[in-house]
Amino acid sequence: MTKGVEIAANAFNALSIVLAARNNLQTWWTGIIGCVLFVIVFFNAKLYADVTLQIFFIVTSFIGWWSWLRRNHGEILQVRHVRPLPLFLMLAVGILVTVFYGWLLHRFTDAYAPFFDSVILVFSVLGQLLLMWRRYESWCCWLLVNSIAVPLYAHRGLTITAILYTAFWINAVIALVRWRKLIQPA
């Protein structure tokens, strides 16, 4: 059953990620289904930060869906850059939270690779928030996350998920190029 759930989770998330790179609203509902399934997969693999992350994704996917539908004077939310100071602050807080959460997992759970798992959690949260706000830099976060997730998931025996995250890495590169063409001045 676990392999079947892993395959289904990957299928829905693959569709969601491709739709996100294409700036397509359908990314949100497909992502919600994939995340619900990944809660089961990651719990069984003792990747608890990833379970937390999937719950976060479910909640924020509903918010992102609403955000992308939101109209601002009749216009759809546009792709933009994050200004330098807020971006620096986000990165600094992200690093601090990563270290703290990794320590918590290391100290109080039987989590596998707690610090790497924490990087995936924290920078996925940042990437998701930036994606919800249609910020170009979201794809840089996804490149970092996928670069760490691929070997971690492969080492935990989640081969299908590792392969998919390799495809996500490629998709993030394509999205960087595609979204760069969509950027609107601040």
Task: Write down the pLDDT at residue 158.
Answer: 87
**pLDDT score of 109 more than 70:** yes
What's the whole-number average pLDDT of the chain?
Answer: 89
Q: How long, in residues, is the chain?
A: 186
Q: What is the Cα Rg of the chain in Å? A: 16
pLDDT at residue 183, as a whole number? 85
Q: Answer yes or no: is pLDDT of 11 > 80.
A: yes
Segment 5-20 mean pLDDT: 91
Q: If you average pLDDT over each of 30-39, 73-82, 107-116, 163-172, which comes out highest?
A: 30-39
Q: What percent of the chain has pLDDT over 90?
A: 59
Query: What's the CA gap between 55 and 39, in Å, rounded?
Result: 7
Q: Given this model, what pLDDT does residue 17 score?
A: 86
The pLDDT of residue 71 is 53
Q: Are 65 and 130 in contact (CB under 8 A)?
A: no
Report the predicted TM-score, pTM, of the whole model to 2 decimal places.
0.81
Q: Is the dihedral of CA 84, 90, 94, 97 positive or negative?
A: positive
Residue 40's pLDDT is what? 93
Cα angle vertex 28, ends 126, 98, to 5°?
20
pLDDT digits (tens, 9 = 90+) for 63-72: 888 877 765 5
Structure token digits, residue 124: 């996925």
Local confidence band at 186 (pLDDT 50, 70, 90 cut-offs): low
pLDDT, position 142: 95
| pLDDT-derived band at 160, boundaries 50, 70, 90 | confident
What are the b/e assignments for 51-79, b being 16+ CB within 10 Å?
A: bbbbebbbebbeebbeebeeeeeeeeeeb
What would the mean pLDDT of 50-55 be, rounded to a whole number?
89
More confident residue, 186 or 115: 115
Q: How far is CA 54 from CA 70, 80, 82, in A?
A: 24, 26, 24
Cα(15)–Cα(26) distance, integer angstroms: 9
Which amino acid does the sequence have at 44? N
